[in-house]
Amino acid sequence: MTSVSSAPRRWLKRSLPFNTMQIAIIGLPNSSKTTIFNALTRGHLETTAYSSGVFELHTAVVDVPDGRIDRLSAMFKPRKTTYAKVTYADIAGLAKGVSEGGLSGALLNAISQSDALLHVVRAFEDPDVPHVEGSVDPRRDVEIMDMELLLSDQIIVERRIERLQAQLKRGGDKLAKAANEVELELMLRLLETLNLSSPLRDLDLTPAEEKMLRNYGLLTLKPMLIVLNAGDDPAGPALEQLAGYLHRHTTIATLQGKLEMELAQMPPEEAAEFLVEYGIEEPGLNRVIRLSYTLLGLHSFFTVGEDEVRAWTVSVGANAVEAAGAIHSDLARGFIRAEVIAYDALITAGTMANARARGLLRLEGKEYVVQDGDILNIRFNV
């Protein structure tokens, strides 16, 4: 497994719903996309389905695996343990040529609502399931999907440029004209990038520019996780075939999809025995979820107590007030201080009482940058 990425876009912190992330699973027909979806969602979870008459959309909300939550739950023995959540959407209908003339409104809406894209690429032979392109070629399949997403963005950007140019010809209010000129300049830059067959996530955009683009449904702007399903061959050449595929905010991983789905459907004890027997540290799907977190620039902090031990998701760089707001808006509004202890420090102390006696807890103000694994107790007054 390898990954290629760069610093997360800061707009995700403002646009991403706290404590959840939504990832659209896309791929060519017969790409084994649904196998990966079933593995990620443990196969037996109740899912919701939506049909537009053109394509079907299946979604499922799953827990984000985190051994720290398990350890904290064993320590505090709460009445309830709550993991961070991720929503996966299995989107059908992305055959070659689907973007000609623009994606349908329902399909574009389904994909554009996601925070990131997970592109499943078939990297195994199966005589019973012919590849839609006639042969297995991961690099070609990645390029086909990239081109479909690029074409969708290109159509959106060109239409917006036409509208902006028409509005500028009509003249009008000076402030509106100035805003349109700024947006037109940005759109022309986007079009130039797309015409070079480069995804928009390769661009350096300011926070203001990212905010301007937030509602346009531009798909190549989204972080991309490419998952190569290697079938039964864990050491297959699939990853090598994508050597040199370098784009920002992009991660590449390899999975054995069928094995992962079987593991996901086993009882926990049986799955644990299987992993030990074959010398596997953990299910590959756990790594995929963590890669998704990293790709989106997310991490977790915790709240603990007898009532509940819970993981909360915030963007890397979020401050204490933003973390308080992830729990409840009243905590952010009336924020006074955050009582903080690092996860490792609490585990070393053994109990919260020991940690307090050793002076390991500290009080932090509004601008404190929350670290991954911090345990927070928010002091507030409303």
pLDDT over 60 at 53, yes or no: no
Structure tokens at 374: 């911090």
pLDDT digits (tens, 9 = 90+) for 168-213: 998 778 888 999 999 999 999 999 999 999 999 999 999 899 999 9
Cβ atoms of residues 85 and 63 within 8 Å: yes
- Residue 369's closest CA among 332, 321, 298, 297? 321
Asked if 117 and 201 touch (Cβ cutoff 8 Å), the reply is no
Show Cβ contacts of residue 213 under 8 Å, excluding neighbours closer than 6 positions: 186, 190, 205, 221
Mean pLDDT of 220-249: 80
- 335-380 tens-digit pLDDT: 999 999 999 999 999 999 999 999 999 999 999 999 999 999 999 9
Q: Express each pLDDT in 235-270 by its tens digit.
A: 555 667 787 788 888 888 888 887 888 887 888 888
Residue 60: what are its φ and ψ, rounded to 5°?
Answer: -150, 140
Q: Which domains does the chain have, with CATH numbers?
A: 2-296 (3.40.50.300), 317-380 (3.10.20.30)
**227, 25 Cβ separation under 8 angstroms:** no
More confident residue, 232 or 254: 254
pLDDT in tens, 287-302: 888 888 788 888 999 9
DSSP string, 19-78: T--EEEEE--TTSSHHHHHHHHTTTTS--EEEE-SS-EEEEEEEEPP-HHHHHHHHHH--
Strand pairing category for 250-255 and 48-51: unpaired
Contact between 208 and 100 (Cβ < 8 Å) = no
Q: Can you give the pLDDT at residue 5? A: 45
Q: What is the mean pLDDT of the chain?
A: 85
Residue 377 near residue 303, CB atoms below 8 Å: yes
Q: Regarding beta strands 56-63 and 48-51, do their DSSP bridges make them parallel or antiparallel, or are they unpaired?
A: antiparallel
